[in-house]
Amino acid sequence: MPKIVDHDQRRQEIVEVTWRFIAREGIDKLNLRDLAAAAGYSNGALKPYFPTRDALLEATFNFVADATNKRVEANAMRLRGALAIEAFACEVLPLDELRINEARIAVHFWNLALAEPELAAANAATMDQWRTWLDRWLGQELGERHAQATFVRDSLINFLMGAQVSSVLDMAANSGQSLVDQLKYHLQMLNRIK
């Protein structure tokens, strides 16, 4: 009797091995042969799931973005205004090993997305989700038509993305506590423009 394969589960396993590999080794060392071995599959077993390296990288970025967004949904969605914004930011900021590894994936991915429109579109979808959430929470905090809401939203997203880069490239100067303090500063600025 042939073995029944759960293809969704196998795709998920491959993506999980990929994101751990990239976080540990970097994207430059990623090749499908080594990845297949790390996942316990033959080299050819990856092709039906991810025909190209870019397809695998896009799925890996989406996996990391989805994990972050699920944490946001669990921890920020029941809150309102500044409390929701703070909870959201704490799920994005690289404050522990998991989120530092997610930042490593994002930084590697952004480098590739500079030259690949499909990869850039995957990032844009995540940023659109974040803008939607922040618009709602800022509307609760500042009022729906506050003139500076868009500026505050975009400033916060730029801080969060920059914190991911800084934590990967200069971790000593961007500890978790330092990033939390910087977030508090941003939230204080929000209070000043009310």
CATH value at residue 76 = 1.10.357.10
User: What are the tens digits of pLDDT across the range 7-62?
Assistant: 788 889 899 989 888 888 888 888 888 788 877 888 777 888 888 888 888 899 99
Task: Find the Cα–Cα–Cα–Cα dihedral 90, 92, 97, 98, rounded to 10°.
Answer: 120
Separation of alpha carbons 191 and 193, rounded Å: 6
Count structural domains, the chain: 1
2 assigned to some structural domain: no
3-state SS class at 79: coil
96 assigned to some structural domain: yes
1 assigned to some structural domain: no
For residue 110, the enclosing domain spans 7-192
Percent above pLDDT 90 for the chain: 52
52 assigned to some structural domain: yes
50 assigned to some structural domain: yes
Please check whether residue 101 is in contact with residue 23, taking contact to mean a CB–CB distance below 8 angstroms. Answer: yes
**Does the structure show a pLDDT above 90 at 193?**
no
137 assigned to some structural domain: yes
